[in-house]
Amino acid sequence: MNQGTKSSMVCWSIFKLIYILMQISLTDQQLLKILDTCEEAYAIYTTRDIIIQTANKAMLQFWGVHNEVFGMPLELAVPELKGQPFNQMLQAVFDTGVDDKGIIPATTKIKGILQTNYYEYSYNAVRDDNGDIYAILHTARDVTNQVSNEKALSAAETVADVQRNRLYSFFMQAPVGIAILDGPEFTFELLNPIFQSLYPGKIFLGKKVSDVNKEGDDLPFLSILESVFHSGDTQELELKINVPQLTQPETKDLFFNFIFQARKKGEGSVDGILIFAFEITEILNAQKELKNAQKLLTLGIDASDIGIWKANMISNELAMDPRIRSLHGLSQDQQVSFADAMQLVSDDDRPRVEASLKNAVSTKGIFREHYWINPADGTRPRWLRSNGQAYYDMEGNPLYIVGTTIDFTEQKEDDIRKNNFISMTSHELKTPLTSLNGYLQVLQKIARKSNDTFTLPILDKSVNQIKKMISLINGFLNVSRLESGKINIEKTKFDITDLVNEITQESKAILTSHEIIFSVEGEIFITADHDKIGQVVDNLISNAIKYSKSGSVIEIRCLVIDDKVQVSVSDSGIGIKPNDQKNIFSRFYRVENYNSSIAGFGIGLYLCDEIIKCHKGKLWLESEFGKGSTFYFTLPLR
């Protein structure tokens, strides 16, 4: 029943009631009393001034007044209505005789509170026997709740429309192909442009999948659709589709992963199928390339005899490839933990390896160590070199370490034999050279006493050459000792400025080709190996002289910085290229393309670096090619 029909019924019921009551000859007072009991609100107005002749309790409650308003104009009786359109509407009915009805908001005071409610109203002109209008019958009903419900429903429908439009927009713009099939016959209800582009020129919308297949367009998933529709379970299918290219005349085979998902009603029953088509061509190509790369990596690992291992930091489990198992003397099915494998490392090397592993995990750095192991099957011990790196979870907790290991036993044994040979040879050479040096010094004294000006310079040069030879042999011996871990550091407390000054003065006495300047702030005492620190200073000064022009200045500084002493040796020589600087302290490293007449084996700076490291110090350089170099080293004061 619509609102107009309800309003007409209200008006008709009032008229009918009045007519019946008049037939039984009731007084006006009785008539009004009976009408006052009606639930429908009514009022009667006369003249264009809209004079209230009567109104029942329901209408008076709408207005928020009592019956003392009878005989008063409407806007005077209910001042809240002034400025609202009701007076003009009632006058229009008086003037035209045309009834008015509808729903309108009205603001009145109800129980002393100004309120706005919605009312279904009817203004009906009442005529006399001559057809002249002499009154207006006003009926009304409060429909505020109904209007509120309708507004809420309208708002909900608006939101639903917006969401529907957004969903449709997403559907049409989605970067994957999407199609919606309706009912058990799988009729294409909707499909987006990407899905349509897989089958260009074909019309699917409104057609059943079975009819599409009859037309020659093979959609090879009808059986899957039926299975999903009846089971409600999601299924997938990988398809190769020959797709035309937009900018090229030829077609191209592309691979897609189709996902078929049941569309369900509110109660859970299936009423359609959603199809999603994801192109996976690039993924498959990447997987293929990855497999090829893995094959190449496997070939490279097999060719280089590298073993791979993975240690779980949580469970202590150790995964090893066959090469690692073979190196550690383990059978292919033998299970060992990471801790068990560490027990195979020699007692001398194990603490260092464990400390290095711990440091790599805590600093998120690279683990690099070489060590001696005793294989579990009792075969001969091996030297292994391992590299590894830890991997962490989102909170930074270590999960596992992945590493590689290589057997360098033969290389290590060759180094040991070489070092033994160098050590033995150096000792054998050093003994006669020491004797020869003693004989030459005796001859020097004799020549000085006899004032033999011809022989003395020759003897001086011979002694210098012997000293160089002894220094070189000592260098080889120290390298050998470093390699075997047998270099001995004997620390004593001494003034390093005295040591540096002594070596500087010796260099000045022997070599007059350069100006050597030594700058110092005062006494600086340290605790270190006096002779080996002297060897470092002597080597740096000798290099500065060798690699700079005759007549240039060699500047030596010695100063305290915080809790360290810093010694520097600067020259204005040929300098060192950046690429060579990173390797300059490596064993046997010689810079190429320099003056080939400069003698050396590339062990001096290596020894200096190792000696400073043994003192927990640091050796480094600053150099600009063509302009000179400065070598620095620091040592702790205590």
Spell out the residues 6+ positions from residue 73 whose beta carbon is closer than 8 angstroms to its own.
49, 50, 51, 52
* CATH number, position 543: 3.30.565.10
Say if residue 464 is in the same domain as residue 517: no
Backbone phi, then psi, for 528, in 5-degree steps?
Answer: -160, 180
261 in any annotated domain: yes
Spell out the residues 6+ positions from residue 64 whose beta carbon is closer than 8 angstroms to its own.
78, 80, 108, 109, 110, 111, 112
User: What one-character DSSP code corresponds to residue 199?
Assistant: S
Say if residue 18 is in the same domain as residue 131: yes
Say if residue 471 is in the same domain as residue 366: no
Say if residue 418 is in the same domain as residue 397: no
Say if residue 512 is in the same domain as residue 620: yes
165 in any annotated domain: no
Cβ–Cβ under 8 Å, residues 519 and 558: yes
Q: Which among 465, 484, 503 is the end of a domain?
A: 484
Query: How would you classify the pairing of strands 515-520 and 553-561?
Result: parallel
Q: How many domains, the chain? A: 5
First to last CA, the chain: 104
Say if residue 389 is in the same domain as residue 422: no
Q: What is the pLDDT of residue 482?
A: 60
166 in any annotated domain: no
524: which 2 tokens?
A: 């600086």
DSSP 466-532: HHHHHHHHHHHHHHHHHHHT------EEEEHHHHHHHHHHHHHHH--SSEEEEEE-S--EEEE-HHH
| Domain extent at residue 219 | 174-284
Say if residue 105 is in the same domain as residue 38: yes
* CATH number, position 374: 3.30.450.20
Q: Which stretches of the chain drop beneath a pLDDT of 70?
A: 1-38, 216-218, 246-249, 300-304, 418-431, 468, 471-472, 474-487, 510, 588-602
541 in any annotated domain: yes
Q: Which among 466, 484, 502 is the end of a domain?
A: 484
24 in any annotated domain: yes
610 in any annotated domain: yes
Say if residue 554 is in the same domain as residue 504: yes
Q: What is the pLDDT of residue 4?
A: 43
Q: What is the pLDDT of residue 560?
A: 92
Cβ–Cβ under 8 Å, residues 212 and 219: yes
299 in any annotated domain: no
Say if residue 376 is in the same domain as residue 441: no
Q: What is the pLDDT of residue 14?
A: 52
Say if residue 394 is in the same domain as residue 439: no
Q: Which among 453, 484, 515 is the end of a domain?
A: 484
Say if residue 514 is in the same domain as residue 604: yes
Give the C-alpha separation, 470 to 573, whole Å: 27
160 in any annotated domain: no
Say if residue 316 is in the same domain as residue 441: no
